[in-house]
Structure 1
Amino acid sequence: MKLSDLYWYRITPLHFLLWPISVLYGFFLTLKKLCYWLEILPSVKLPVTVIMIDSISVEDGSKTPLLLWLVDCLITQGYRPGIITRDNSDRPNLPHEITCESDTHSVDGKTFLLAHHCRASCPVWVGSDRIATAHALLSAHPECNIIICNGGMHYYQLERDVEIITVDFSAHSFGNGLLVPAGPLRINLNQLKKSDILVTNGKPDHPRDMSKWGKTYIMQLADEMVYNVLKPEIQQSVSCFKNKHLHIVTDANNSRWCFDLMQNKGLHAKLHSYAENHRFSQHEINLPEADAILMPEENALQCKKLANDKLWALPRKAWINNELLEIIIKKLENKN
């Protein structure tokens, strides 16, 4: 269990101490947005359309599947998107491109997953400064006519043309309902009515009044199929592993999802969960007693050089009504 599961989904005496900080943080965010809206603080407008995708919660895991869905849809419509994401390392780095050949130990799993799926059709660049990263991407790939900013809900210095916020009910996104640092929320729920586009996944544990929110679109995440890491063309249904001596290996970021998968699919597996953003070693994924080893795709791809033919990757794919794509395309056309 992650520390955040014990901390962000309950109220303890510590939360009463942190609650005033959360209130001040919310006030700071409102003031910051107002300063950019009044042009007291300068913002930067890129020469191409900018789509910002972020989640309401720090624990939201549905943002990456949504981003991959959007990339595929834009490419199908004839657009040439590029992705920028923030460098989460402790050392500030200059903007640089992430590819399938990048060192998996120097980039986080979700960013490497984006690069693996997008490949040459959609460059993925990472850097500490989003604006500098966007300019570097456009300089290296002048054919790109859309920038997708992964994260950056409160980064108002970069002007966005379309804002998409994900709300993942299946991941208990709301937690105790408090803003960070007392809770997992990045934004007050009352401000969702001002968001451009809201995409929800799963159903809330408790009935919620969403009538005051903006227009919402339902997303479903499919995790029915797996593929062999060394031979990606070999695919099987997850249910095929029911009668096998199965092990599931994951980091804490995906442990809740993997546990739910075992329950929902009736898998009798041994779950190995490691720390958040864990760098896996050979002995952790090569288990002689196992008939098969399943890993979330972002973890499995980082272990490709260590893998044997027992290792299978479990991807999550987003399924969304075409209405959302129509709305996004309409907004893009209105910007041109």
Structure 2
Amino acid sequence: MQNMKLSELYWHRITPLHFVLWPLSVLYRFFLAGKKLCYWLDILPSVKLPVPVIIVDSISIGDGGKTPLLLWLVDLLLAHGFHPGIVTQGNSDNAGPPAAVTTANSSQHSGGKAFLLAQLHGKSCPVWMGIDRIAAAQALLTAHPECNVIISNDGLQYHRLERDIEVIAVDFNEQSFGNGLLLPAGPLRSALKDLGKSSILVANNLQNHYVDPDQQNKIYNMKLVNETAYLVLDPQQRKTIADFGKESIRIVTDADNVHWLYELMQKTGINAELHSHPENHRFRAEDIHFADADIILMPEENALQCKDFAHGKLWAVSQKAWVNSELQSVLLRKLHSNPSSL
């Protein structure tokens, strides 16, 4: 695999460097606790929106299944009569005012995940981006007064925006959970024990990991399903990855998705060459041009960025979340008990 990030060398193992980084991780943990306490004591001001706010985030710096979980949540809310809207920060190099992310927008300006959300749910669930999440949420509510739930795509430590429900994706895969240490010695942005009792934990790969019996939060199971692809030029054409058989296959992805695609290769046994690009890579036509390939596979969020110059060999691999049915009841009960959602 190409373009291995520095984190791959250090965050997923213990090396002498961690003896230097570990004290910084301890300070980071105390800083987070102190910051949260300041908001709880109203020393730092927070903002309460007129509708319920659901934070969906990952405990690690990677996606950790957060995006499929968020898409599952949107489907759940729409099916039960809610009108959700999504706010996201998008790319940090686009620090303009809040703006809607639409299918007409260039994905180069909104970021792959924001563009994916708009492509899949933009018509029924507006997606807005902005460096200031609160301003983005307020702009969304002004433009779409029918919205009665705001979903924040990240914001675990952004306590200036008050949240009614906090849903945290925890992927116990070695590449996501890593060495179990907090930043900068490890990939975790919070320790499990530091999450509030009201936080809802949704775990992937839980069966392979020991969980402290004193863990105060109940953990709900999630399974990520990613064995189906569709032709970008004709989404009605779908195949399982195994159906591609012995065709010449190239897999093109960014660094955010490289690990689960590599695991997909191992699980399905397909013979493919994997091409990995850096995070936030701006895909161009030449990135998906391989004259000797029969099939080009890309994760859905990257494939949709190539939609304007897609060809008949390009297939998108979608990633769906199957979530414990008990979680559905818990979320709906919390929303229906919130007066601002009625």
| TM-score, L = length of structure 2 | 0.94
Q: Is the 8 A contact 1:164 1:195 kept in 2?
A: no
- Structure 2: gaps spanning 5 or more residues: none
> Which 4+ residue blocks in structure 1 deviate beyond 4 angstroms?
none
Give deviations 1:125-171, integer Å, cap 9, x for gaps.
00010111110000000000000011111111111001111101135
CA displacement at 1:281 relative to structure 2: 1.9
CA displacement at 1:119 relative to structure 2: 1.8
Provide the residue aligned with 2:169 in structure 1.
Answer: 166
Is residue 2:82 matched to residue 1:56? no
RMSD over equivalenced CA pairs, Å: 1.5
What is the correspondence of 1:89-128 to structure 2 with a 5 Å cutoff? Answer: 89-128=92-131
Aligned equivalent of 2:306, options 303, 306, 310? 303
Q: Any idea what SS the aligned residue of 1:106 has?
A: helix
Distance (Å, rounded) in 2 between the aligned partners of 1:181 and 1:10: 13
Aligned equivalent of 1:269, options 243, 267, 272? 272
Distance (Å, rounded) in 2 between the aligned partners of 1:183 and 1:204: 22
Provide the residue aligned with 2:178 in structure 1.
Answer: 175
Distance (Å, rounded) in 1 between the aligned partners of 2:298 and 2:306: 9
What is the correspondence of 1:80-229 to structure 2 with a 5 Å cutoff? Answer: 80-170=83-173, 172-192=175-195, 194-203=197-206, 205-229=208-232
Distance (Å, rounded) in 2 between the aligned partners of 1:198 and 1:190: 11
Q: How many residues align?
A: 336
Is residue 2:42 matched to residue 1:39? yes
Provide the residue aligned with 1:324 in structure 2.
Answer: 327
- Structure 1: gaps spanning 5 or more residues: none
Provide the residue aligned with 1:253 in structure 2.
Answer: 256
Q: Any idea what SS the aligned residue of 2:234 has?
A: coil
Give deviations 1:150-193, integer Å, cap 9, x for gaps.
11111111110011111011353321222111211111232246
| TM-score, L = length of structure 1 | 0.96
Q: Is the 8 A contact 1:165 1:195 kept in 2?
A: no
Distance (Å, rounded) in 2 between the aligned partners of 1:61 and 1:194: 21
Identity %: 57
CA displacement at 1:87 relative to structure 2: 3.2
Q: Is the 8 A contact 2:88 2:152 kept in 1?
A: yes
Distance (Å, rounded) in 1 between the aligned partners of 2:216 and 2:37: 20
Amino acid paired to 1:212: Q
